[in-house]
Structure 1
């Protein structure tokens, strides 16, 4: 299995853009998409979905939204997540402090 950047060790996702991130390949794949989903910067982080996590976890949480560049899938394969200037996929992340 390929390795994520050091800042993402022991996680199944990475918000750090790796030096080997395939920018050109992803840009080529996205060129033919006519409509792109646009997310606003004013996403509400205090929605009720935070309550579900906090009720199932006995820790103080940090909640943030960031683009994710890499994930480890259910088969332990490293996968890149498509990100570009015109196509951002942002995830809501909750971590114990």
Structure 2
């Protein structure tokens, strides 16, 4: 729940009467089954950042992946990976994109 509370606070801090209408956060369930998360990072230090698709495929029922491009964080994963995806996003916001030498 700590990650969800953090995301709620992060979202609330961006709500200015405009951002939440044009940008915001999308959280969807998918038919494969799983989760899809899209979070706009305009007006954050990640706005111009790029992170290629990073995937973790352990099995058909144990997987997740994410990327950051065009001011949009996109993550998806199996039904048990919603918190993992949100933790990845939180880590990127708090620590930025790791450089290849730090990975």
TM class, shorter-chain normalised? under 0.3
Higher helix share: 2
Higher strand share: 2
- Structure possessing the higher relative contact order (Cα contacts under 8 Å, 6 or more residues apart): 1
